[in-house]
Structures are given as structure tokens and as C-alpha cells.
Copies of this chain bind each other. A is one copy, B any other.
């Protein structure tokens, strides 16, 4: 069993400072979910700024959702500096497979940096390992969806990717699969409404970085705990929706649910299995 309460309480106690180089679409929600879980966000993406900023933080969240020629070098600079300092670095390869620039940038980051965590949807991860993905922009392609009939092959593939990179690999979707190459966690928390809100993946990446910074020695367990917390928040948010509420109110309730989530609540609501 993962010590979910202990891990969650750690985040709130240690208030990790997380450096984010992220996209401008969902950045506000990423900042607010970091504050909601007890962490502190800093966003900085200029080449002249990122090394100083990452040095005063505990870890780095790199999200390529709106990468550009100015921010790509910053991702490498901040990543290398974080590696030198021993800070955990998370990569969210948003849209890998949807363009050469995204696929190549994510691949180069994986090659050059020591990553603690790689978190994406199944299509993004397949684009980066094996190269046989279809894509639907920044969303997972239906053809790639994880289900009972292909889950074993997805787990094998994720484990191999994890062993190759040394990173905990988190493939999130209706079922989340997280592996450090040895242990595997399959998570069933979550709600379909989460796919109607932009940035649930980005928010999870930011929060995952915070959990790992707060507890770097339990990286795999921390990634699992953050993913369970996000899924459970999605369930709590769904339970609050009135008939007239839609995806915008849902987004607020999602962040609210993280803000109010206790370690006990997380343990009670978690639905996962370790294989």
C-alpha cells in the first residue's frame, strides 16, 4: 500500500517551491492547483532568468504545450541546472506526435536530461517510444486508448520506457498506469468530465512535480499519490455539479477539491492496484 496520507501531508508541511516552464493556455490553473495542494509556483521561461529561478526552487516542471524558439533553450538550461543541483525534473510532452518540433524537443529533453518523471497521455508517450502513435492534437487518439484487452502490453511498453530513461513513467487517461520499471500502479480514480476541461493533464503534471519535490526518495509513490489525488478531485468536483453547471464550474470545483483534500480523504477515496 502507498502511504497516501503521509505523502499528502508531507506536501502541505514542506510547501515545495516548483519552477514551471509551461504553456500560456493552462498556466493559471497550474499555479492555482500548486497553491491548492500546498506548494508554491514560480513561472519563468527566459534564458536569462531560468537558471537563477530553478536554483532557488526544489524542482522543475517542463511542459511543452506552447513551446517556442525562445523557451526551448530555456527548458534545456533549466533542466541541466536542476540536474546539477539534484532537483527532480518532470517532463510533460504535450502534443508529442502532433508536430516534429514537439516530438523532437521532447525526445531531446529525454536524451539530454535526467528526468524524474515523464507524464503524458498514451498517444504522446507512444510517439516518444516506439514511434508508432496516431495523434489527435493534444488529446489521446481513440485508437490508442488503454482498455482491458491492451493494458498488459501498455504496461510492458511503459516499463521498458521507464527502464530506458530512468524516469517514472505516468500514462494518464481513463485508467492511469504508472511505473518505475519494476512496480506498476493502475489507478481507476477520475471522471469523464476531466477531459472536457483544458489543462487537467498540465495541472496533474504541476502537482506531481510538487509531490515529488516534497518526497524525492519516494518518487514512484509520490507520482501515484498525485495522480490519485487528481482523479479523486475529479470525482469530488463531479459530485458538486448542478444541472446548469458545465466545464468551467467543473474546473473550479476540481481545484477547490484539491485545496480541501485531506490525507485521510485521499486514502479513503483511492482506487488503485499495485502489480
| A interface residues with partner B (beta carbon < 8 Å) | 17, 23-29, 31-32, 35-36, 40-49, 52-53, 56-57, 65-70, 95, 98-102, 135-139, 196-199, 236, 240, 243-249, 251-260
Inter-chain contacts of A138 with B (CB < 8 A): 40-42
How many copies of the polypeptide does the oligomer hold? 3
**B247 & A256 in contact (Cβ 8 Å cutoff):** yes
Inter-chain contacts of A243 with B (CB < 8 A): 260
CA distance A44 to B101 in the complex (A): 11
**B197 & A32 in contact (Cβ 8 Å cutoff):** yes
Inter-chain contacts of A47 with B (CB < 8 A): 69
Given contact pairs A42-B138, A246-B255, A248-B256, enumerate 8 new A-B contacts (beta carbons under 8 Å). A32-B251, A43-B66, A46-B67, A52-B98, A240-B244, A246-B258, A248-B253, A249-B253
**B49 & A137 in contact (Cβ 8 Å cutoff):** no
**A247 & B27 in contact (Cβ 8 Å cutoff):** no
**B43 & A67 in contact (Cβ 8 Å cutoff):** no
